[in-house]
Structure 1
Amino acid sequence: MRKITLALSAACLLFSLNSAVGARASAPTPLYTGTTAAILAEQAPIHWVSVAQIENSLMGRAPMAVGFDIDDTVLFSSPGFWRGKKTYSPGSEEYLKNPEFWEKMNNGWDEFSIPKEVGRALIAMHVKRGDSIYFVTGRSQTKTETVTKTLQGDFSIPAANMNPVIFAGDKHGQNTKTQWLEQKNIKVFYGDSDNDISAARDVGARGIRVLRASNSTYRPLPMAGSFGEEVIVNSEY
């Protein structure tokens, strides 16, 4: 009887060992392998600047004309563009060629846009300096617009510093903002897109990059710092 008991115990032990080995062999590979403090602290080696550093670099300089792109630079305006796409061309970007969309976007839909904190900080700094503020956007021009009023209210811009929004539009193969930066003698231009930075450089202005929010509907996200330009820290919101 004892021999039978020992045999059964050995068989059970062998079975449990085989089961454990099989379970280990079939265990899925972890989805994430973890991280380290060094990885978390790693930053892209680009020219990061703060609003305070920009302000310091302008000390002693006379008031000047400065410019801002609008969408994803000073306003998170994706809600309006998202609605426009759903309304006029679900599944494509054709809505951007539809005058009806631009009439809506330029005449009220910015009430759903969220002012970016970096925009507040930059504009307040330039107002304090006495600079003349321009907004140059790639949006299509419409017969009427409330964007100027919205921006002036959102960012508390005095009338003495504010200029009407310039609707440069979008033309294939042409950077439509360049001529306006030159015409208005803009010395510093802030934008989130590559075209904003290249337009500034084309006219000898200082182009400074603002980060586009990762949940923006405008894709793909640009590679900030790819031109060697200054990039504002924490400017995605």
Structure 2
Amino acid sequence: MRVLVVEDQMALRRQVAAALAAEGYAVDEAADGTDGEFRGATEPYDAVVLDLGLPGRDGLSVLRAWRAGGRAMPVLILSARGVWHERVEGIDAGADDYLVKPFRMEELLARVRALIRRSAGHAAAELTCGTVTLDTRSGRVTANGAPVTLTAHEYRVLAYLMMHRNRVVSRSELTEHVYAQDFDRDSNTIEVFVARLRKKLGTEVIRTVRGLGYTVGSEAA
């Protein structure tokens, strides 16, 4: 899963990015509205954390530009402005949630998890495929009830596939959602991660659809 953090306060931006990375997300950062708008318009994100008071271009303008351009990723607004009519304005501009500064990092992480789940059509925090369960709250993965240790990239591949279960996901799509923008991406390594996951979870969990990509779900169970 890949998240964009658009925040001009460097210390806060890095704190949020570090917390998200510790939760297993691939994280990109932008320090102003112009860069944030460009990244959100050109890169696929599973969620965006967007500050309103940005230099270059304010957060509401950035959000409206994304929505006008057809960008549908869930957006969590951060703002020091807590009055009700500004929250309404943010939601009406296309935001999916709103968090007022100062905030607890645990709440931000919970809201991001919920936004990603809901955007993929999941209500529960636990995702299950056959004998494999992934708890999005703790990052814990079990197979046949036993805990399984995964690397960060293995976890991202599994989480994305389980979040989009019953759909074929291409290698290129997985690559875009597993790596941050400044990472040296190589779609061939996706095969390596899938092979490792099959070894740890069982060969039947992730099914290859020749020429198209991978799928998990009822067809793969």
Bigger relative CO (Cα 8 Å, ≥ 6 apart): 1
Structure (1/2) with the larger strand percentage: 2
Say yes or no: TM over 0.5: no
The two structures have a TM-score, normalised by structure 1, of 0.27
The higher radius of gyration belongs to: 1
The two structures have a TM-score, normalised by structure 2, of 0.29
